[in-house]
Amino acid sequence: MTQASTIEAESGTTPAPGNSRGEAPGTVVIDAVTKRYGDATAVDGLSLTIKAGEFISLLGPSGCGKTTTLRMIAGFEQPDAGDIRVSGRSLLGVPPYRRDVNTVFQAYALFPHMSVAENVAYGLQQKRTPKSEIRERVIDALDLAQMRGFADRKPTQLSGGQQQRVALARALVNRPSVLLLDEPLGALDRQLREEMQLELKLLQSRLGITFVFVTHDQGEALSMSDRIAIMRNGGIEQLADADTVYARPASAYVAAFVGQQNFFRGRAAEGGGAVDSTHALVRGATPASPALREGEAGLAAVRPEFVRIEAAAGDAASDAVNTARGTLLGVSHLGETMQYLVRLGDDQSLIVRRPTPEAPQVSVGDAVVCSWRPESVLLFPADDAASDGGFVAPPTA
Ligand SMILES: Nc1ncnc2c1ncn2[C@@H]1O[C@H](COP(=O)(O)OP(=O)(O)OP(=O)(O)O)[C@@H](O)[C@H]1O
Ligand SMILES: [Mg+2]
């Protein structure tokens, strides 16, 4: 998507003085960083290289270490081990205001008694930037955030979205190589959030600034990022683009966190290419990846959008490779799609989603047959899911 701007940003600049590693300005390298609070390890040996001009998201559940990682890049926290470099220079011991990095927080923390322009100018005044330069840069930053017409207002006279734009302008006025954003859109309602997502993305590709964007909203991460780092327990579980984390999640944890999944638990069967669970023998496409060993505990996953549903016609056998029979418990209209909840047994339901124009003729209470292709099935070792307290693959709905 913004691959072109990434390449431009990398090739069009020369390494900063003191940069012996050939890391372009705007490159962020997190090198085996650990951060502990007492007995708790918030970030655990995390390594991540963020390319200059890249839009990267840190995505993960509450407490997985996203904010701590960001605060260490910004300089508000010091790592207990490891190194952080921006533009090829180690930042250990460098105070926040001397880093080529700015942060936009969820709580915008604007000064209420100052006007919008004064809020944006504040940081530059502290650095004793010449007045004429401040004026020019404040106007530029307000333009970028589309807030020029609001320069004289007080924060209390602005909407939430407008306040967030001022917070953005306040960061951009420093012209940083790297912008850190910690759930900046979390306080906005859905429609405004989607507008701001688009705008932020456009702004980022236009300016070529490296964006490190923290969110626990998977849709936001999928729609905006060049790459997504899925975090788990202070480390990175998978680092890849949106297509890859969606279609080829590295683990059941990632599969469950990105999009929605129906999970079937059981024993690996048919040489490891299938999972034999109570309500279905779920076959994957061969070769299965990651491979299961015959007989070991396994998890098969299939997304709701890959499952078909139809009324069960007597006891005619379906010729699909993967089928499950059940009772339709509920139907919800989601706009573009219809969602069906099917009870397979006391302990398991299946979620099915079909495009609304293709909605099948089924009613609540009907006996139904669900089917899906082996190519839509992901197989995982079961212990992968149960190995930490933070995640257990749900037995579906
Ligand atoms: N100042 C602190 N003192 C003690 N523990 C902390 C501190 N800051 C964070 N932690 C702990 O470190 C872990 C990671 O916290 P962090 O704020 O990085 O999570 P997060 O991924 O940003 O979560 P959220 O999505 O809820 O914002 C948590 O277990 C948290 O309780
Ligand atoms: Mg956080």
Place of tokens 């109570």: 278
Say if residue 222 is in the same domain as residue 333.
no
Full residue range of the structural domain in which residue 275 is found: 260-385
Q: Would you state the pLDDT for residue 319?
A: 76
Task: Tell me, yes or no, whether 203 and 349 share the same domain.
Answer: no
Instruction: Decide if 24 contacts 85 (C-beta within 8 A).
Output: no
> Is 219 inside any structural domain?
yes
Higher pLDDT, 345 or 55: 55
Q: Measured in angstroms, how far is the CA atom of residue 69 from the centroid of ligand 1?
A: 10
Residue 338 has a pLDDT of: 96
Domain C-terminal end among 247, 270, 304: 247
Residues in a beta bridge with 6 = none
Which neighbouring-strand residues pair with 353? 339
With respect to residue 367, please indicate whether it lies within any of the assigned structural domains: yes
Q: Specify whether 213 is located in the same domain as 296.
A: no
Dihedral pair phi/psi, residue 314, rounded to 5°: 55, -135
Best substitution site from 33, 35, 64, 71 to test ligand 1's pocket, by max atoms within 8 Å of Cβ?
Answer: 64
CA angle 67, 72, 78 (to 5 degrees): 130
Shared domain check, 279 and 242: no
Q: Could you say which of 218, 247, 276 is where a domain stops?
A: 247
Q: Is residue 85 part of a domain?
A: yes
Position 145 in a domain? no
Q: Distance of CA 33 to CAs 47, 97, 239, 308, 342, Å?
A: 7, 21, 16, 45, 45
The CA distance from 47 to 27, in Å, is 13
| CA–centroid distance, residue 397 to ligand 2 (Å) | 27
What does the pLDDT average to over 275-279?
A: 93
Q: Are residues 237 and 294 in the same domain?
A: no
167 belongs to a structural domain: no
Closest-CA residue, ligand 1 atom 19, reads: 63
Instruction: Say whether both 369 and 348 belong to one domain.
Output: yes
Question: How crowded is the C-beta side of 114, counted as CA atoms within 13 Å?
Answer: 14
CATH for 44? 3.40.50.300
Q: What is the CATH number of the domain that holds 348?
A: 2.40.50.140
Q: Domain for residue 118, yes or no?
A: no
Return the structure tokens found at 151. 């320069």
pLDDT tens digits, 26-74: 999 999 999 999 999 999 999 999 999 999 999 999 999 999 999 999 9
- For atom 29 of ligand 1, which residue has the closest CA? 63
Judgement on whether residues 325 and 224 belong to the same structural domain of the protein:
no
| 176-227 per-position pLDDT tens digit | 999 999 998 887 888 888 888 988 899 899 899 999 999 988 989 999 999 9
- Residues touching ligand 1 (Cβ under 6 Å) are 37, 40, 42, 60, 62-68, 216
Report pLDDT for 38: 95
Give a yes or no: residue 181 inside a domain.
yes
Residues 310 and 370 in one domain: yes
**Could you tell me if 207 and 350 lie in one domain?**
no
Whole-number pLDDT of residue 228:
97
Q: How many domains are contained in the chain?
A: 2
Sign (positive or negative) of CA dihedral 39, 44, 45, 48: negative
Please give the model's pTM, rounded to 2 decimal places: 0.85
Question: Does residue 199 share a domain with residue 57?
Answer: yes
Residues 280 and 378 in one domain: yes
Distance 76 CA to ligand 1 centre (A): 13
Residue 384 pLDDT exceeds 60: no
Alpha helices (H) in 174-299, listed in sequence order: 190-207, 218-224, 242-247, 252-257
pLDDT at 6: 36
Domain ends where: 247, 276, 296? 247
Ligand nearest to the CA of 71: 1
* Structural domain contains residue 66: yes
Q: Does one domain contain both 209 and 286?
A: no
